[in-house]
Amino acid sequence: MQQQLLEAVVATGTPTIVVLNGGRPYNLGGLEERVAAFVMAFAGGQQGGTAIAEVLAGIVQPSGRLTVSMPVNAGAMPYYYNHKLKSGGTPIALHFGSRYPFGHGLGYTTFEYRELELESATVPITDGEVVLSFEVTNVGSRRGADVPQLYVRDRLASVVRPVRELRAFKRVELSAGEAVHVTFRVPVDMLSFTGMSGQRIVEPGRFDLSVGASSADIRLRAEVEVTGQTRMLGRDWRMESRSEARSA
């Protein structure tokens, strides 16, 4: 009866904050735009109550980001931010997709991204590294935390690839007006996939780079070209990106 209870409370016109505890993504049955705030608390554990109270009171800045996509409705499930085009579940129907995308999360201030720079527009396929940097500025009136994210898309491959894949992220906490310079370093091995032979490979070609506050809120874009011959990865391929932040 929780949905009926929420509908009755919202109908009174009282500003309502919804705190949803659960292990799966849920929506509010279309009431998302009518509530004052929507906090997805998932399974908070023994300190969950304290954490929720401090976030609602403004003592702590909310800085969590969704690790799943919140569906538009039950008919939209399952929905993945890293879906593949021309495969089952391609989000074409109007009822498909996510209301809150993978990587989404709000706080009590706003951030601006600018000045994306690539260390090199070409990267060798043997042992190369995609390196890009950009500036993040807290343009709001109070301190807050942001989590810029890097997504990659392989433009053309021998098998169908996802429309985007998360490859790096960095949490930064900034005072009002403060700015930091964020750098992501992604080894070329992380652009690999399982080829037709069943083995992990890296193929040369162009890759789209997208930096944003979520998988659907992209602020900066660039492209990089991986050069060389298709390479089969060995057992110890590099599978971790690195990130750093320094004062701008």
User: In this predicted model, what pLDDT tens digit does every residue of 158-216 receive, in sequence order?
Assistant: 999 999 999 999 999 999 999 999 999 999 999 999 999 999 999 999 999 999 999 99
Residues comprising the chain, all counted: 248
User: In this predicted model, what pLDDT tens digit does every residue of 120-137 receive, in sequence order?
Assistant: 999 999 999 999 999 999
Average predicted confidence (pLDDT) for the chain: 91
Residue-range domains of the chain with CATH:
2-100 (3.40.50.1700), 111-247 (2.60.40.10)
Contact 185, 243 (CB under 8 A): yes
Task: Tally the C-alpha atoms within 13 A of residue 166's C-alpha that lie toward its C-beta.
Answer: 21
What is the percentage of the chain residues whose pLDDT exceeds 70? 96
Per-residue confidence (pLDDT) for residue 96, from 0 to 100: 67
Sign of the torsion angle spanned by Cα atoms 149, 155, 156, 162: positive
What is the percentage of the chain residues whose pLDDT exceeds 90? 73
Once rounded to an integer, what is the mean pLDDT over residues 82-98?
Answer: 65
Band of the pLDDT at 95, cuts 50, 70, 90? low
β-bridge mates for residue 208, sequence order: 153, 223
In the predicted model, is pLDDT for residue 60 greater than 90? no
Peptide bond into 78 cis (omega under 30): yes
Surface-to-core class of residue 80, CB atoms within 10 Å of its CB (0-12 exposed, 13-18 middle, 19+ buried): middle
- In angstroms and rounded to an integer, the radius of gyration of the C-alpha atoms of the chain is 20
Band of the pLDDT at 61, cuts 50, 70, 90? confident
Q: Give the CA distances from residue 77 to residues 20, 24, 48, 71, 172, in Å, rounded to whole numbers and listed in that order.
A: 19, 12, 27, 6, 32
Per-residue confidence (pLDDT) for residue 111, from 0 to 100: 97
- 158 sits in the region (left: phi over 0; alpha: psi -120 to 50; else beta) called alpha
In the predicted model, is pLDDT for residue 94 greater than 70? no
In the predicted model, is pLDDT for residue 77 greater than 60? yes
Distance between CA atoms of residues 170 and 186, nearest Å? 13
Per-residue confidence (pLDDT) for residue 93, from 0 to 100: 57
- 72 versus 141: the higher-pLDDT residue is 141
Question: Which stretch of 29-43, 83-97, 179-193 has the lowest confidence by average pLDDT?
Answer: 83-97
Per-residue confidence (pLDDT) for residue 242, from 0 to 100: 96
Once rounded to an integer, what is the mean pLDDT over residues 101-128?
Answer: 95
Question: Which stretch of 40-44, 111-115, 149-153, 191-195 has the lowest confidence by average pLDDT?
Answer: 40-44
